[in-house]
Amino acid sequence: MTERRRRIDIVSAPDFVAGLPDISLDDLRERRALCDELDTELSYYQRLLHGRMDLLGFELRRRSGEESRSLIDALPEILAGSESHVSSSSGRAIPVEVPDIPSTGKRNVDRVLVDDFLAHLPTLDDEELETIQADLTEAEREVSKQRRTVYEAYEKIQSELTDRYRQGIDNIDELLAGS
């Protein structure tokens, strides 16, 4: 029976980018595609986390008296501000499609995103909000670290593909077919 590994564990493993010059073109393309898919998913997680963090931050500022508007009044501005966090670590365009995100899971990010604290925000005390904020921050750090790992693997694979083209090992039509 084969062991099922998470995609981030596959990409994080040293053997994922080891010996790239000896790997077939098709395998390189598959690995690059895996990095693209995983980056899209992790980017989506970051967007969700940043949105929640921005909403929670506003509520904490409102409670401390730094903000007089209601959350509903400030919502368009808050959500527009969370979009500024969105970027691809590789500088590539981020696809708009929404990846399949589990509704429950063992990972910290799954647990944090399933929490519906926004639905009962007015009933939470400040200590509960600070705990939620700490959980969101930790989950965002984990996702950011995973995206850096994916980006580094992607760059190594892309560099190998580029080197092959420059050296004439594979022709341009084959390389472009996998993009």
User: In Å, what is the CA distance from 6 to each residue of 12, 38, 102, 146?
Assistant: 10, 10, 13, 12
Q: What is the pLDDT of residue 86?
A: 45
**Predicted confidence (pLDDT) per residue in 128-165, tens digit:** 999 999 999 999 999 999 999 999 999 999 999 998 88
More confident residue, 12 or 104: 12
Place of tokens 């990846």: 99
User: Who's near 7: CB < 8 A, 6+ residues apart?
Assistant: 34, 37, 38
CA–CA separation, 140 and 47 (whole Å): 10
**pLDDT the model gives residue 101:** 57
Q: Which DSSP state fits 90?
A: T
**Residues 6+ away with beta carbon under 8 Å from 99:** 37, 40, 41, 44
Mean pLDDT of 29-39: 95
What is the average per-residue pLDDT within 31-46? 94
Percent of the chain at pLDDT exceeding 70: 78
Confidence band, pLDDT 50/70/90 cuts, at residue 75? confident
Can you tell me the distance from the alpha carbon of 128 to that of 135, in angstroms, rounded to the nearest whole number? 11
Confidence of residue 85 (pLDDT cuts 50, 70, 90): very low
